[in-house]
Amino acid sequence: MCRSGDEPDPAQGWDTDAAFTALLEDSAEELYEAAPCGYLSTLMDGTIAKINATLLDWLGMDREQVVGRLRFPDLLTVGGKLYHETHFAPLLRMQGELRGIALELKGTDGRRLPVLVSSVLKHGGGGEPLLIRTTVFDASDRRAYEQELLRRRRDAEQARAEAQRAQLEAEQARRQAEADRERLADALAVLQQSLVPSSLPTVPGLAAAAHYHTAAPDLLGGDFYDLFPLGGGRWAFFMGDVCGKGPQAASVTSLTRYTLRAAALHTSEPAAVLATLNAVLHERYAAGTDPRYCTVVFGVVEPSTDGGPAGVHLASGGHPPALVMRADGRAEFLPTPGGLLVGVFPDAGFGSAHTTLAPGDTLVLYTDGLTEARTGATRENLFGEDALLTFAAEHAPATAPSIIAALTGLLESFREGLDDDTALLALGVPGRP
């Protein structure tokens, strides 16, 4: 650009245009590596075959650390890995592509980066899937913007509610009375169904403890658990979470509990028990206008009568991973990859796992009300599985009653941040004197 009062120099203008044109002559590789978003290509098992420099910079990793060594789920947080295994990967294989899925990447420094992920399958000439191409967008600003919109919306709704309160008091009183009568009738209708055991049985060679937190006293939740004998010194246990709340969820919970108990009488194989439950729920609810499903972990434990270790075999259908607290002070998740939600697909697969509880070890089951509790001054952050693992490590080793007491105190500390029902079940082998 010429200064005011000066004549333009044609040669200078030509040079500027030529320099600008040269800037646009980037190679395809440069455009890929320096794109404002992340790109990666993976094999069908998730192994990363190619990744651009932008995404590597976000993660704080070198290409040699990633390509051929890591799978795409390895870049995600613990919750993201579980979601990828149970939802993202199955839906991608079914649909061929997924767009705008919200996940969180975890960098080498532990920092979490909210992102939007879009993936598409690339097929060969014969129609067989060859690889997965994925685009990753930084969603940090978007998340902050959405939270601000939600805050402003709440403020506007609160202001509008206060302005209308005077003229709606009489109408609200009438509606509240009707709602109370309906809720009382619903509660009386389902009180006859036992959703959780009133107390846990005494198991020789095993200590058991449980806790159930109800987020809304006037609504029936869908969390459930149980512990019962199978004979031959073996005991079955399960924990699950039915989608939704209210009488409908309570009805599904009752059906689920009795189905699991009945199935366990015919086979003690945890995956087979979940397959039976999946068939029952899918047949009854999948074809209707109100589909119902749940997450469940079912297991069998065989405690020793002489104070020795107890063998545990369990299977999971989309449920949060079990937590094992060892006598030596370690705490670890017991992964069950590949387990799908129960009742969604007619032929769902369920992940299995085995472990041994030595004297002083304790197995802890929980529902997602614990890990999805909102923390912080603004209640914007989820407690998460990483924080739960840290909490368990700080309390290990622990007996079943003591860890349930500690977790109960943790739930109480969340206060209004705990907006979902939460069930806890712990099974531990008493330590030797």
Q: What is the pLDDT of residues 344-371, one digit of tens each?
A: 888 888 989 999 999 999 999 999 999 9
What's the rounded Cα separation, in Å, for the pair 88 and 217?
Answer: 34
Whether residue 7 has pLDDT greater than 70: no
Name the band, by pLDDT with cuts 50, 70 and 90, for residue 6.
low
Give me the sign of the Cα torsion angle 390, 394, 396, 398. negative
Average predicted confidence (pLDDT) for the chain: 86
> Is it the case that residue 218 has pLDDT exceeding 60?
yes
Structure tokens at 176: 């509240």
> In the chain, pLDDT over 70 holds for what percent of residues?
90
Q: Which two tokens stand for residue 189?
A: 């209708």
How confident is the model at residue 24, as a pLDDT?
Answer: 60
pLDDT for position 333: 96
- Residue 278 main-chain phi, psi, to 5 deg: -60, -45
pLDDT at 2: 45
pLDDT at 286 over 80: no
- The span from the CA of 85 to the CA of 198, in Å, is 35
What's the pLDDT tens digit per position in 159-181?
Answer: 887 888 777 777 877 788 787 77
Query: What is the token pair recorded at 102?
Result: 């919200």
What is the predicted pLDDT for the residue at 296?
96
Domains of the chain: 10-138 (3.30.450.20), 197-428 (3.60.40.10)
Q: How many CB atoms lie within 10 A of CB 47?
A: 15
Q: Largest Cα–Cα distance of the chain, in whole Å?
A: 101
The better pLDDT of the pair 108, 8 is held by 108
Mean pLDDT lowest for which of 64-68, 189-193, 257-261, 302-306?
189-193
In the prediction, which pLDDT does 11 show?
52
SS3 61: coil
C-alpha distances (whole Å) from 69 to each of 43, 49, 275, 330 are: 12, 9, 34, 27
Q: Alpha-carbon distance 364 to 424, whole Å? A: 7
Contacts of 177 (CB under 8 A, 6+ apart): none
Which letter, b or e, does each residue of 157-193 get, where b requires 16 or more Cβ atoms within 10 Å of its Cβ? eeeeeeeeeeeeeeeeeeeeeeeeeeeeebeeebeee
Sign of torsion, CA 365 366 367 368?
Answer: negative
- For the full predicted model, state whether its pTM sits above 0.95: no
Distances, alpha carbon 175 to alpha carbons 182, 206, 353, in Å: 10, 50, 50
pLDDT above 90: residue 72: yes
Is residue 318 classed exposed, middle or buried when 0-12, 13-18 and 19+ CB atoms within 10 A define those classes?
buried
User: What is residue 376's predicted lDDT score, i.e. its pLDDT?
Assistant: 79
Is residue 1 very low, low, confident or very high in pLDDT (cuts 50, 70, 90)?
Answer: very low
Q: Please name the helix (run of DSSP H) or strand (run of DSSP E) that holds residue 230, with its range, or none.
A: strand 223-231
